[in-house]
Amino acid sequence: MGGSGGVGFALSEVATRIGYTSEFAFANAFKRQYGTAPGKYRRHKATVR
């Protein structure tokens, strides 16, 4: 994945690394916590840099 300077892990990789059994479960938990989907959050962070 790439991006501007960060390590670009796929969403499924992030979910697995932190203990979620599915990308869907991680995305739902992320959205509950941060109010936005993980992909949207990542794109926003990339444009802010």
pLDDT tens by residue, 1-49 = 444 444 689 999 999 999 999 999 999 999 999 999 999 999 898 888 7
Three-class secondary structure assignment of 2-46:
CCCCCCCCCHHHHHHHCCCCCHHHHHHHHHHHHCCCHHHHHHHHH
Within a domain: residue 25? yes
Quote the pLDDT of residue 45: 85
Is 6 a domain residue? no
Q: What pLDDT score was predicted for residue 8?
A: 84
- Residue 7's pLDDT is 63
User: Of 38, 4, 8, 6, which Cα lies nearest the Cα of 20?
Assistant: 38
Query: In this structure, is residue 43 part of a structural domain?
Result: yes
- 37 part of a folded domain: yes
Give a yes or no: residue 3 inside a domain.
Answer: no
Q: By residue range, what is the domain housing residue 37?
A: 11-48
The count of domains in the chain is 1
Does residue 1 fall inside a structural domain?
A: no
